[in-house]
Each structure stands twice: as C-alpha cells, then as structure tokens.
C-alpha cells in the first residue's frame, strides 16, 4: 500500500511538471509571436489555363417607356389650382383628361376682354358713322362754296356795265368766295385725316381686344390637359408643397386635387405602355453585342418572370462613369427592347439582362477576382518565388465568373487577393 501511494504521488508530480513546462513553452512562443506580430494568412491563388467558353454578358438597367410626354401647367400670370388629377399609375386613354385646373379666373378675363371688344366695336361703328356724316356735310358745304365762287365770277363779268364802286364790291365778293372755298378744302382734308386717325386708333383697340379674347379662350382650353396617347399616368412631385424650403432626404408629396401650382410646373407624365431597358455596358462587352441580338430580361419587381427581348441600339462612343469621371471604366449606353406589354412592367424598376454572345475556343482563362484595377489599368499579381509581382494584362472578355486575358503564359500562378493589402486586425481596439 505504501509503495502504491508513493508511486501515485510521483506520477502526479511528473504530470504537474509536464503541464508547467508546456505552459512555459506556450508562453514563450506567444511572447515571441507577439514580438514578431500577427502571422500573415496565405494568399489564395489560381493558375492560367486554356479552355473553351460561351460568352454570357450580365448587366443591370432601368426600365423606361419608349415614349413619354410631360404635361405642365399652362402659362398664366398667377398660380393655378388643380381641380381634378388622374391617379398615379392609372391607365388612361388618348384624349381623356389627365389634369384639370380651375378656369374661373380665365373665364373672368374672357368676360372683361369680350366687354372691351364690344365697346371697341361700338366706338368704331360710331366713329365710322360720324365720319360719314362729316363727309356728307363737307361735300354739301363744298358744293355751296363752289357755287358762291361761280356766282361771284359772273357778277365780276358785269363790272364794265357797273359803276366803279359796284365793280369793286363784286371783286371783293369774288376774293372772299375763293378764300372760303380754299379754307373749306383745307378743312375737309383735316376732317378726313382726323377721322382716319380716330378710326385707326379704334381699330387698334378692337384688334387688341380680339387678341385678348383669343388668349383668354386659349387659356381656358389649356385648363384641361388631355392624354396625347394611350398609356399610364405618372404624377410628379410637388416642389411647391414646402414653400421653397428643402433639405436633403426630404420626401416630397405628389400633386393632388386642390394644390396650387405655378405656371409652367410639370404636373404629370403620360407614359406609353411599351417599355424598354436602358443600360451601360462595359467596354469589354461591347464587341460581343450587336443590334438585334436576343436577350433574356428578369425584372426585380416581378419575381420568377422572365421576358424575351433584343438589343435595340448601342452608342457608338463610350463615356466614363462615376461622379466627375471618378470611375475609369469606359462604358457604352445601350437600349434593349422588351417583347411584352405586361401591365406589371413599371418605369424605374430595375431589371437584369442576360446576353448570350460568341463561343470562344482555346483561350486563356482566369477567375474574375484575379484581375485588379490600379491607376486605371488592369493588373494581376504574378507568383515570383515567394513574392507577388504586379503584371499588366489585357482583358478581352468577361463572364459572370471568368475573364479571358492576354499577356500571361498558360500555367502562370496569380493571386486571388491583393497581396499589398494589410490583413484586418483581429483585436477590437487594435492593441
């Protein structure tokens, strides 16, 4: 019994000694590791290989109507009040009323303009009548004056038979008759010029009143805005609802019946039912897409549904994207037609497009994550001994998971993660 107890106590002491030694070794290793810093995880890699591939291009775009017309408040001198407005998203037929404004102010202006026009027409008629009476009176007075001159001339022709005093009286009478005739002829010209000027002024007032009446009638007709074609209604945001005050993130309400609007404000948009898709294609995908090419379209707002379509147009010139050109990738604007009039298709919805391109054989392939962008150039990190060396490459095509490249040898090993990036710290506070 004593031997067994002594043996057990020695075994326990040996085990404890081993545990202490192990703890010391672990502590020493941890201390050394702490001095060296955290170990860097291995860089995942892949090798360039040859193979055949079907080019499939995936892109995302926004739905938009093929044709859209904006309806705006007609030009007036003041604000307008909406009395009727079609609901946003509702279907509408050509000629049906989309927006109707209160025409009472324009109707009042029409009454005033009509009154002014009637007054101008009456004044013009009176002026014409007065001119006709004046012309008749002037004609009668002219005949009488000419008669008086002729009579005086006959009396002067008898002067040889009369005394010198009577002959002098006849001469004076003839001179006076001729003077009156000349004065009357001048007065008639003045009367005619004055009447013509007065009539011209009244005609100008009449034309102005007629124009005001026409403008008022046009304004009344413009109080009702019909749909130019069959389509859907999209009511615009009411920028006047906040009284001119606007902050970032503020949600504006749509226009509705009863709102006051300024002249020229866009109230609603009529969208034709047929939709198309607007996208921006990467430069590498441009060579594999041609007008008329078939596509498959999936709309995020209609889960499980796909629509057939085709490439409609592709821009001939590329542009840079991003804010102030911050995105160096050159892109081409493209439009895809959708071969469906499904009423569930709505403008502004996001859609995903799959385009089947060419079948390429015996090309160099790499995973997409092996290609990085640095200073606007596409590079890979090539394995060189124990280090990774950046190397420029040319990407000729892209698919969802792979890229076709030029500038590397088959079998070359490249990094799938950027070796220049520092690993994220595991500590919560970085200590």
- Phi, psi at residue 398, to the nearest 5°? -135, 145
99 near 82, Cβ under 8 Å?
yes
Query: Does residue 2 register a pLDDT over 50?
Result: no
- Rounded alpha-carbon distances, angstroms, from residue 20 to 7, 17, 25: 20, 5, 9
Q: What is the mean pLDDT of residues 250-254?
A: 81
Query: Does residue 96 register a pLDDT over 90?
Result: yes
Q: What is the mean pLDDT of residues 250-255?
A: 82
157 near 174, Cβ under 8 Å?
no
Q: Which residue has the higher pLDDT, 177 or 274?
A: 177
Q: What is the mean pLDDT of residues 302-329?
A: 74
Q: Which segment, 110-119, 235-244, 309-318, 376-385, is predicted with the most confidence on average?
A: 110-119
pLDDT of residue 85: 93
Residues 340, 346, 350: CA angle, nearest 5 degrees = 95
Give the pTM: 0.53
Provide the Cα torsion 78, 84, 87, 93; round to 10°: -110
pLDDT grade for 328, boundaries at 50, 70 and 90: low
Picking from 83, 74, 76, 85, the residue whose alpha carbon sits closest to that of residue 270 is: 85
Of 137-146, 315-324, 339-348, the least confident = 315-324
User: DSSP per residue over 361-387, as a string?
Assistant: EEEEEEEGGG-EEETTEEEEEEEETTE
Give residue-wise pLDDT tens across range 396-415.
Answer: 777 778 888 888 888 888 98
Helix (H, G, I), strand (E, B) or coil at 3: helix
Cα separation of the two ends of the chain: 55
pLDDT grade for 33, boundaries at 50, 70 and 90: low
Q: What is the mean pLDDT of residues 45-61?
A: 85
pLDDT of residue 66: 84
Q: Percent of the chain scored above 70 by pLDDT?
A: 84
Extract the tokens encoding 282. 């990467």
What is the rounded CA–CA span in Å between residue 50 and residue 243? 65
What is the rounded CA–CA span in Å between residue 101 and residue 394? 61
Give residue-wise pLDDT tens across range 156-179.
Answer: 888 888 888 888 998 898 899 899
Average of per-residue pLDDT values in the chain: 82
Burial of 33 (0-12, 13-18, 19+ CB in 10 A): exposed
What is the rounded CA–CA span in Å between residue 274 and residue 278? 13
Give 66's contacts (C-beta < 8 A, 6+ positions apart): 272, 274, 275, 276
pLDDT grade for 25, boundaries at 50, 70 and 90: low
């Amino acid at each position: 019994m004593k031997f067994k107890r002594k043996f057990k106590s020695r075994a326990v002491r040996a085990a404890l000694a081993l545990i202490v030694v192990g703890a010391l070794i672990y502590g020493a290793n941890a201390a050394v590791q702490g001095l060296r810093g955290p170990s860097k995880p291995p860089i995942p890699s892949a090798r360039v290989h040859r193979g055949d591939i079907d080019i499939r291009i995936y892109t995302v775009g926004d739905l938009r109507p093929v044709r859209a017309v904006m309806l705006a408040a007609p030009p007036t001198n003041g604000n307008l009040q909406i009395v009727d407005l079609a609901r946003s998203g509702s279907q509408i037929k050509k000629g049906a009323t989309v927006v109707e404004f209160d025409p009472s102010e324009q109707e009042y202006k029409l009454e005033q303009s009509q009154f002014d026009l009637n007054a101008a027409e009456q004044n013009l008629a009176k002026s014409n009548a007065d001119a006709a009476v004046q012309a008749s009176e002037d004609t009668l007075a002219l005949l009488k004056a000419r008669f008086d001159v002729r009579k005086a001339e006959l009396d002067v022709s008898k002067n040889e038979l009369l005394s010198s005093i009577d002959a002098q009286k006849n001469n004076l009478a003839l001179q006076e008759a001729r003077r009156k005739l000349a004065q009357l002829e001048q007065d008639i010209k003045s009367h005619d010029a004055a009447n013509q000027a007065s009539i011209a002024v009244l005609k100008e007032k009449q034309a102005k009143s007629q124009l005001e009446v026409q403008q008022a009638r046009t304004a009344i007709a413009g109080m009702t805005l019909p749909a130019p074609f069959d389509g859907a209604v999209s009511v615009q945001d009411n920028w006047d609802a906040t009284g001119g005050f606007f902050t970032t993130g503020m949600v504006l309400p749509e226009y509705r019946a009863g709102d006051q609007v300024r002249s020229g404000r866009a109230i609603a948009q009529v969208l034709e039912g047929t939709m198309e898709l607007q996208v921006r294609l990467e430069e590498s995908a441009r060579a594999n897409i041609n007008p008329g090419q078939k596509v498959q379209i999936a709309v995020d707002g209609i889960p499980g549904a796909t629509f057939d379509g085709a490439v409609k147009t592709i821009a001939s010139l590329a542009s840079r994207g991003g804010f102030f050109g911050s995105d160096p990738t050159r892109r081409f604007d493209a439009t895809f037609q959708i071969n469906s009039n499904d009423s569930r298709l709505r403008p502004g919805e996001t859609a995903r497009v799959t385009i089947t391109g060419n079948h390429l054989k015996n090309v160099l392939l790499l995973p997409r994550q092996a290609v990085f962008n640095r200073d606007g150039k596409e590079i890979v990190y090539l394995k060189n001994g124990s280090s990774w060396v950046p190397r420029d490459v040319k990407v000729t095509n892209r698919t969802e998971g792979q890229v076709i490249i030029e500038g590397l040898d088959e079998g070359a090993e490249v990094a799938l993660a950027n070796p220049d990036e520092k690993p994220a710290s595991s500590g919560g506070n970085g200590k």
